[in-house]
Amino acid sequence: MKNSDMKGEKFMKTAIVYFSAHHGNTRKLVEGAKSRYPEIDVFDVVKEKPNLEEYDVIGIASGIYASSFGKPLLKFLNEKLPVGKKVFVVHTSGVNMKSYSKTAVNIAKDKNCEIIGEYSCKGFNTFGPFKLIGGTGKGRPSEKDIKAFCEFLKNKIV
């Protein structure tokens, strides 16, 4: 799916803030979406601290570290997530569990944000004992995962 497939449709002004360490799984997913939908602004919270006030919708995306979103992203959300925004939550992990997004969702809810959806997929994982077997989730997120994420975006922010 390319941006040209979206003729006649317009995204709400959208930003995705993300944290992606280790294998870059979340970065791969977010950048895959950005390449299809260049009107979405994407910010790595380690490198940038954007002002999100001007956005209608904010995506929060992270890999999972010790069963939670990355600490730099959570710190950023606590300090900089505006009150009352529409928010969607995204994560990549070795074991795809919805509960991993709980802390990020709670921060958004504490700021009276509306959670409009959650997307997750597996990512390449070499944490702990998985390193001994060469990791799990090789090749993930895949092109199929990126395409599914783009469909999620299209359904949530057009």
Q: Which of 7, 11, 30 is nearest to 154 (CA)?
A: 11
- The alpha-carbon radius of gyration of the chain (Å, integer) is 15
Chain segment 79-132, per-residue pLDDT in tens: 999 999 999 999 997 776 667 899 999 999 999 999 999 999 876 554 554 444
The tokens describing 71, both together, are 């600490």
Q: Which amino acid is at 57?
A: V
Mean pLDDT of the chain: 85
pLDDT in the model for residue 127:
55
CA distance 139 to 85: 34
Between 68 and 131, residue with greater pLDDT: 68
CB 112 within 8 A of CB 83: yes
CATH topology of domain 11-157: Rossmann fold (3.40.50)
Backbone angles phi, psi at 137, to 5 degrees: 70, 35
- Lowest mean pLDDT across 67-76, 117-126, 144-153: 117-126
Domain ranges of the chain: 11-157
* Chain-centroid distance, C-alpha 102: 14
Which are the contacts of 34, defined by CB distance < 8 A and separation ≥ 6? 16, 40, 42
Q: Which amino acid is at 80?
A: K
Is the pLDDT at 78 greater than 50? The verdict is yes
Between 152 and 93, residue with greater pLDDT: 152
- Lowest mean pLDDT across 28-32, 62-66, 128-132: 128-132
The pTM for the full model equals: 0.84
Q: Which amino acid is at 99?
A: S
User: 144 in the Ramachandran plot: left (φ > 0), alpha (ψ -120 to 50) or beta?
Assistant: alpha
Is the pLDDT at 137 greater than 80? The verdict is no
